[in-house]
Structure 1
Amino acid sequence: MVPSSPILGTMLHAIGGVSASSCYVPYQKTKDWSWGTFWLVQAMFAWILMPLIIGFITVNDFFTILQNAPSRAIWGAFILGAVYGFGSMSFGVAIRYIGYSLTYTLAIGISAVVGTVLPLLLFGGLTEYFTGPGGLTVFTGMLVSLVGVAGCGWAGFRREKELAAGSSGSGRSTMSVGLILTIIAGILSGVFNISLEYGQPIADMAAAKGSGHFQGNAKLIVSTAGCWVVNVTWFLVLGIKQKTLREFTKKSGIAANRMLRNLVWSALAGTMWFFQFFFYGLGHVSMGRFQFASWVLHMSMLIFFSYIIGVVMKEWTNIRKATYFLLIVSLLILVTSFVIIAYGSMA
């Protein structure tokens, strides 16, 4: 039995949030590569290489556990991970249309609700969790979190409207496409938490082998493998159609040192994506009987830090003071929700 520590769990979710909110920043450093080429490399590191390497290092009898895991857990986690794969693609493209801040707010906000409520409905325990000691406080914190998410979303919409007013062109159509992709990404991203829940028997096997807080690394590779299969199939076909796969070769005319830097930046992006769920797994175990709150806590952390990243990347320049003030207040509400959830989890 792994001892719970909600404060530690909250801190671990925060670290995961930092990693997740900045994992696409390295794309800005890649030059002469298409989005698909970057995505193929980051996907390999995010969903195959890093889960395998870290799983092997941290989980006792890692491959034996995967070999002997129940088929229902394997296939359930894999298929739902594949469903999430479509969401991850939509998310990545949406960022290019409407920016980091708004994409993260809407997609992750939707994901926080879907990923928290659906597992409780599917696997049971919705009433029991919220009526036990500290349950009402945690529920209040989750509601406060959603208020903060809504405020950030409102600020994001105001920002887009103000920026569009100062420019000409197809801003409205770009915004519409970005919003549609973001909604799809949000719904399907919530499915990833359900995928992890389906894989819980695999984590339980790792716990029985003495993996402790690292038990979640045993099931993660199954969910991410499903995501990877969908992504690599899509982008390989797209790369063949658009003839961008040559960007991996000398025939592209890209200098060798530039190619190496692109590989490093893309690998870093994938590694950072993986570490969001590495720390999610650690934080999830640490939350004890309030593990159900992990998803909304983790997603709220992600939104909070994505806005910090957006400010650093100067996405919030040339906007009205009232909009910026709304953003600051919303971020403070999110911080308050973190404190409430952590406090309630200690009951």
Structure 2
Amino acid sequence: MPPESNPILGTLLHTVGAASAALCYAPQRYVKNWKWQTYWLVQAAACWLILPWIFAYFTIPQLGTVLAEAPGSAMRNSYLLGVLYGVGGIAFGAAIRYIGFSLTYALAIGLSCVLGTLIPTIQAGTLGQILSNTGGTFVVGGVLLGGLATFITGLAGFRKEREITTDSVTKTQFNPRVGLPIVVLAGVLSAVFSFSLAAGQPIADVAAKYGAGNFQGNVIYLFSHSGAFTTTLIYCLYLITRDKSAGEFTSAGGANLGANYALSILTGLLWYLQFFFYGLGHVRMGDLKFSSWAIHMIILILLSCGFGVAIGEWKSCRPATKLIITGAIVLLFAAVGLLTYGNYLAAPPATAAVVGH
């Protein structure tokens, strides 16, 4: 195990990344006179295409040599799995139309958390070994508790939307028979991003050999993110052609065009930074670093709920709904605690002593 392994610090870094992801959509509300596809393509180009190369250039020593030596199969697989992740993003957007944002967000993230964390260990045949030690049992318990807590936040969010929404059109669009299958697809394909990162690990191993250290994961994003951008580009171009909105890239209809670009790029930067800090946290999680995906997803939901409560989104809800979201937040905290403690227990004695110190 590398000397920098530190599960507690790793969890804190995952928290920074999750906070960045939870806040990334805030700039969108200030974008004026642009359709969704215009804004989304600009932020996606920043997040999925441009920023990965900038960060890799400055954090991966001898980047050209690393790419020349890295296995082509790892590059290909990471890219293709990134493409599937992009399909999940499109399904996520479609599901919101039929079951609302809160329910879509919670169900998709919950499925992604559990599937993206446990399936790779099942495929690798290591789940039994993980469960054979106390630390691994705590981690798997934390994953399952986090998935349950996430579903409960979705129930609370659904109740909130039904209680405070007066728009009859929004209510008549609610159709779980259509929305639930789509959100399941979104959750499953979102979990694929975890597989994309795992598939690209051989590339990171080469980067580590050339001194990338804790930043080694940044080289994987060149392939996983470009795959996601490919899907996003195709879908956005379809919408742009259908709506004849290409002119928005050079005009904001009287609004500040430069501000629209700046806000969209800021969204992309915040979205990318979650992966940057994810990588820094992942390399510090020790022998059970497979749990990074669950930690990231659960903290993301926890912070999203916490931000919503802090700004008063739940004030107008019924007492029962407030009680449900309070219970969900408590369970999310407990899940993060189990995951962190399990990783701490699994750390070698020397590492545990350093953390304790």
Same fold (TM over 0.5): yes
Q: How does 1:122-201 map to 2 (within 5 A)?
A: 122-163=123-164, 166-174=166-174, 176=176, 179-201=180-202
2:221 paired with 1:220? yes
Q: Residues 213-246 of structure 1: CA distance to partner in whole angstroms, max 9, x if unpaired?
A: 1111111111000110111122123212211110
> Does structure 2 retain, via aligned residues, the 8 Å contact 1:50–1:274?
yes
Superposed counterparts of 1:276-315, under 5 Å: 276-312=274-310, 314-315=312-313
Structure 2 counterparts to residues 192-341 of structure 1, below 5 A:
192-250=193-251, 253-255=253-255, 258-312=256-310, 314-341=312-339
**1:345 corresponds to which residue?**
343
Count of residue pairs brought into register by the alignment: 343
Give the structure 1 partner of residue 355 of structure 2: none
Q: Distance in 2 between matches of 1:310 and 1:94?
A: 21
One-letter amino acid of the structure 2 residue matched with residue 158 of structure 1: R
Corresponding position of 1:85: 86
Q: CA deviation at 1:179?
A: 4.4
Q: Please identify, of 307-316 and 327-336, the stretch whose mean Cα deviation from structure 2 is larger.
A: 307-316
Q: Secondary structure at the match of 2:316?
A: coil
Task: Look up the SS of the partner of 1:254 in the other structure.
Answer: coil
Normalising by structure 2, report the TM-score: 0.90
Deviations 1:290-322 (A, max 9, x none): 111111111001111121233356543421011
Aligned-partner Cα distance in 2 for 1:33–1:339: 42
Give, in angstroms, the shift of residue 157 of structure 1: 2.5
Residue 95 of structure 1, CA deviation: 5.0
Q: The residue matched to 1:346 in structure 2 has which SS?
A: helix
Identify the range of structure 1 (129-138 vs 178-187) with the bigger mean alpha-carbon deviation. Answer: 178-187
Deviation at 1:197, TM superposition (A): 0.6
The whole-number CA distance in structure 2 between the counterparts of 1:94 and 1:316 is 22
Q: 1:85 to 1:307 in 2, by over 3 A?
A: same
Cα pair distance change 1:76/1:142, threshold 3 Å:
same
- In the alignment, what sits opposite 1:40? 41
* C-alpha displacement of 1:60: 1.1
Q: How far is the alpha carbon of 1:86 from its aligned partner?
A: 1.1
Q: Secondary structure in 1 aligned to 2:5?
A: coil
* SS of structure 2 residue aligned to 1:215: helix
Secondary structure, in 3 states, of the residue corresponding to 1:216? helix
Q: Which amino acid aligns with 2:171?
A: G
Contact 1:152 1:330 in 2 (8 A): yes
Say if 1:311 and 1:103 are closer, same or farther in 2 by CA, change over 3 A: farther
Partner of 2:350: none
Amino acid in the other structure paired with 1:169: V
- Percent of aligned pairs with the same residue? 42
C-alpha change, 1:167 and 1:262, in structure 2 (3 Å) is: closer
**CA distances 1:66-112 after superposition (whole Å, capped 9, x unpaired):** 23211110111000100001112233455576555333211110100
Q: Which moved more, 1:177-186 or 1:223-232?
A: 177-186
What are the ranges of 5 or more consecutive residues in structure 1 without an aligned counterpart?
none
Distance 2:27 2:170 in 1: 27
Q: SS at 1:89's partner residue?
A: helix
